[in-house]
Amino acid sequence: MSLEAVLSAVEARVTPDEAERARFEEVAGELRERTLSALSELDVEGDVVLVGSTARGTWLSGDRDIDMFVRLPPETDRSELVQYGLTIGHEVLPDGREEYAEHPYVKGTYEGFDVDLVPCYDVEDAEHIQSAVDRTPFHSTYLEENLDDELARDVRLAKRFLKGIGAYGSDLRTRGFSGYLTELLICEYDGFVPLVEAAAEWHPPVELDPEDHGRETFTDPLVVIDPTDPERNVAAVLSAENLARFQHYSRELLEDPREELFFPPEREPISAAELRAHVRQRRTTPVAVVFEAPDIVDDQLWPQLRRTLGGVIDGLDDHGFDVFRADTFVEETAGPADEQGRAVLFIELASPTVPAVSRHVGPPVSVRSHAEGFYEKYAERSGRDDGDQDRLYGPFLVEDRYMVERPREFTDASEYLRSEALLEVRTGAQIEDALEERTVLVGDEVDGLVESFGRDLAAYFDPRP
Amino acid sequence: MSLEAVLSAVEARVTPDEAERARFEEVAGELRERTLSALSELDVEGDVVLVGSTARGTWLSGDRDIDMFVRLPPETDRSELVQYGLTIGHEVLPDGREEYAEHPYVKGTYEGFDVDLVPCYDVEDAEHIQSAVDRTPFHSTYLEENLDDELARDVRLAKRFLKGIGAYGSDLRTRGFSGYLTELLICEYDGFVPLVEAAAEWHPPVELDPEDHGRETFTDPLVVIDPTDPERNVAAVLSAENLARFQHYSRELLEDPREELFFPPEREPISAAELRAHVRQRRTTPVAVVFEAPDIVDDQLWPQLRRTLGGVIDGLDDHGFDVFRADTFVEETAGPADEQGRAVLFIELASPTVPAVSRHVGPPVSVRSHAEGFYEKYAERSGRDDGDQDRLYGPFLVEDRYMVERPREFTDASEYLRSEALLEVRTGAQIEDALEERTVLVGDEVDGLVESFGRDLAAYFDPRP
């Protein structure tokens, strides 16, 4: 299949049809009316703007998100702004619940659409924002001016492609391409095909500045200076891995165009038997630390989870255990965004045990005071003849230094993971408590994870770019 | 016990009594006569010099070594020199056999003494030597001039001390202090106690130049410029470890003087039960590579053995096995110096196995030609769905690079040690063949070593400075 044919097929699947567009226009119009009416009831000066992909016609068929911003005068007190926002939100969205970005806002459903109703300040330009969300209307305006219908089609192709390869979304779980970043890239390269052709050849760091007004230096692998704010890199959240992923699949698309890249088949969850077969084949020892994730939104949870995983890996390493590979998963829940299920730190060890002694290098013998201090400290503990279970070997000499082989605190990784000592590792602030009530699974016990984490484990044991 | 009392007690044990001295004088006189007579029979111009500690009265009571040098004119052809030396040697020592230093010489026994009869060139000074052994008579002359009776006593104390701590001997097995070096140090520091007091405070590199005529720069930890040759470091063979050992025990002697440091009790060989108890306690996996050592002298064997041990450790490491500690031993034989018994590479592993896959980092995705080459090579081998036993995982992404988990060639250390692949490691030249006929012992099988290597293993599991 040619690239053109693939893109046409994808286009057909992602372009909203007339009915979908009409339905959106109708609902968006109603919401605007309801919001304006709520605003006037409160007797507050302000206006309502529709932002996001639906506003610009770049949404993918089937997406049902409406982002409605209520702009209030910049001199409004922040607590008042929040209060107005919540009042209007609950008025417009009777089933709405409060969520939290930089400040609280109301999220709800209306006529089958997911609606965010967000209050912001009506500032002069994006450089003078008072709240992070104030920037959004400027983005919308910029894109409305720069995207024509043809580019809107290419934005949809790009978004679908990034979703297909798992690199779409600037949330802190994904650390991928935001919608705004995708749209800017399409503008900058003037279409989807030129963008993937360029990406296939990128040598990060890649720096783009559509308005040629950047003033700051960034260390991110992809830098796209916000056309509405010279001090902001729109791609700041994008991870090096997702950038590499985009480059990899851009080449795949050009070399072997196929619809599957845009719509990959969902992975089958792994079975317990498959999991065991992998472990047998790899001859590693899987361990899992399972705990109730704190009820915080993903953007708060995921950085903390990664930090905790890193802390536990370092802790294992400090105790001599060799971590082969590791990942962290969270159970999906049907509830609100801040309702979390169980979290897992899944760790593959090269070996479940380490020697009961570790080598500890002392000072050079020639540095007399240090050397004597070291020697005396350990010579005293040296369990030479007492058959002590926690025997220390040495001190002896290795080249010009003293060396001892000290008893280790833990020789089994599972012992360490279940011990109080684990709580000394660096963790996410809100994970520390959760970790106290953990379950540790070792070896075949990890079978128990397949029910809730079958897809995560399938991806773990069949890793792809 | 005071230091003085300890030294007096040691002195009493190491000083030859009148009878021993008289006996030595008598035998040495006879040997000289026999040698001069053999020389005149051959009608060769030359003289005979007694060298070494017996010549200088610095031998330890009980030592029965006589070193007799036959000095021949410097214009003598080397093959002639060797021939004269061997003829005289066999004449003087009827039970003598030929040994090899820089050139062959005869070693034999005479009236209960071990006698070396070595031909050398009668050169003008030590800087103009034609053979390494030519230097020896100059050393003897220098020390005869510089050592009085009191210093001779201190040389005996120093030698006994160095023997006691295991740092005496410039052979390549020991890499310790030679007799000549010991005597020079006693001269330089004017006695044994001042020497150990200085050694306790040394900060290597330590540089001594008794004749103040050194011209070269050395990188050795202890440099003692030969008083008879400004270009030679007498301590060149001394290892950093033996220097540190001397410093350590010098402090011990000063802080807690005891005769035991000069005459340590011999270690008891380890029993199989003790060996197992250590292994159980340490939770390591012992392995041993056992082979017939080639019949070469210790000075040739030991550097090759150490090189081979290093090669095998690196080989294990390259294959992912974590070596905890290792050593090499050689079985003692009663035969001549170049008759060797079995050799052992004794290696303690942290774990007997490693995962069946190893992580292999590829190029950054952005380096397109390399990245594509890497990806294609491995994507093809990726055993994604074929249930292959030698399955490759990936390629996948870690940050901006590709990564694969490749099947390992060996997952059991014993498999590797028994394989042809082991012969690819760096070995001693004359050990390579011997290694082909090796036996590999794993875990409890190393019990079989205690009979021949019980003392070595006792030292291994009770390491001291």
A99-142: per-residue pLDDT in tens? 877 788 999 999 999 999 999 999 988 888 888 889 999 999 99
Q: How far lies A157's CA from each of A67, A152, A160, A311, B75, in Å?
A: 21, 9, 5, 39, 94
Helix (H), strand (E) at residue A91: helix A78-92
A315 vs B99 pLDDT, higher one: A315
User: Between A355, A397, A465, which is nearest B397 by CB?
Assistant: A465
* pLDDT confidence of residue B384: 53
B462 is an annotated ligand-binding site residue: no
Q: Which of A393, A405, A462 to mutate to test the interface with B (most CBs of B within 10 A)?
A: A393
* pLDDT confidence of residue B66: 93
A54 CA: distance to closest CA in chain B (Å): 33
> What is the DSSP-derived secondary structure letter of residue A60?
P
Contact B166, B245 (CB under 8 A): yes
Under CATH, which number does the domain A11-143 receive?
Answer: 3.30.460.10
**Encoded tokens for B226:** 């030969």
Helix, coil or strand: residue B288? strand
Does any CB of chain A come closer than 8 Å to the CB of residue B373? no
Does any CB of chain B come closer than 8 Å to the CB of residue A240? yes
Q: How far lies A56's CA from each of A27, A62, A125, A159, A229, in Å?
A: 15, 15, 20, 14, 20
Q: Is B53 exposed, middle or buried (0-12, 13-18, 19+ CB in 10 A)?
A: buried
> What span, in angstroms and rounded, lies between the C-alpha atoms of A293 and B154?
75
Contact partners, residue A85, CB within 8 Å, separation at least 6: A70, A103, A104, A105, A106, A117, A118, A119
Where in chain B is CATH 3.30.70.590?
A: 272-353+412-460
CA angle B190/B192/B194 to nearest 5° reads: 65
CATH 3.30.460.10 fits B16-133, yes or no: yes
> What is the DSSP-derived secondary structure letter of residue A262?
T
Helix, coil or strand: residue B245? helix
Contact A400 B283 (CB under 8 A): no
Q: What is the pLDDT of residues A140-149, one digit of tens each?
A: 999 999 999 9
The superfamily CATH assigns to domain B272-353+412-460 is: Poly(A) polymerase predicted RNA binding domain (3.30.70.590)
B102 vs A317 pLDDT, higher one: A317
Helix (H), strand (E) at residue A107: strand A104-110
DSSP string, B144-173: HHH--HHHHHHHHHHHHHHHHHT-B--STT
- What are the φ and ψ backbone dihedral angles of A392, each rounded to 5 degrees? -105, 135
* pLDDT confidence of residue B323: 98
Query: Is residue A386's pLDDT more than 80?
Result: no
* pLDDT confidence of residue B43: 83
Does any CB of chain A come closer than 8 Å to the CB of residue B402? yes
**Encoded tokens for B118:** 């070595």
Query: Is residue A429's pLDDT more than 70?
Result: yes
Beta bridge partners of A33: none
A159 is an annotated ligand-binding site residue: yes
Instruction: From first to last of the 465 residues of chain B, give the pLDDT tens digit.
Output: 899 999 999 999 999 999 999 999 999 999 999 999 999 988 888 899 999 888 888 999 999 999 999 999 999 999 999 999 999 999 999 999 998 777 889 999 999 999 999 999 999 888 888 888 899 999 999 999 999 999 999 999 999 999 999 999 999 999 999 999 999 999 999 999 999 999 999 999 999 999 999 988 999 999 999 999 999 999 999 999 999 999 999 999 999 999 999 999 999 999 999 999 999 999 999 999 999 999 998 999 999 999 999 999 999 999 999 999 999 999 988 877 788 999 999 999 999 999 999 999 999 999 999 999 999 999 988 765 455 557 899 999 999 999 999 999 999 999 999 999 999 999 988 999 999 999 999 999 999 999 999 999 999 999 999
Contact B282 A389 (CB under 8 A): no
Does any CB of chain A come closer than 8 Å to the CB of residue B353? yes
CATH 1.10.1410.30 fits B149-261, yes or no: yes
B389 CA: distance to closest CA in chain A (Å): 7
Does any CB of chain A come closer than 8 Å to the CB of residue B218? no
Share of chain A above pLDDT 90, in %: 86
Tell whether ipTM is more than 0.85: yes
Does any CB of chain A come closer than 8 Å to the CB of residue B247? yes
What residues of B are in contact with residue A371 (Cβ under 8 Å)? 248
- The architecture of the domain spanning A272-353+412-461 is 2-Layer Sandwich (3.30)
Average pLDDT value over all residues in chain A: 93
Beta bridge partners of A192: none
Q: Is B313 exposed, middle or buried (0-12, 13-18, 19+ CB in 10 A)?
A: middle
Q: Lay out the sheet containing B393-398: strands in order across.
A: B357-364, B401-407, B393-398
Where in chain B is CATH 3.30.460.10?
A: 16-133
Contact A283 B245 (CB under 8 A): no
Where in chain A is CATH 3.30.70.590?
A: 272-353+412-461
* pLDDT confidence of residue A381: 81
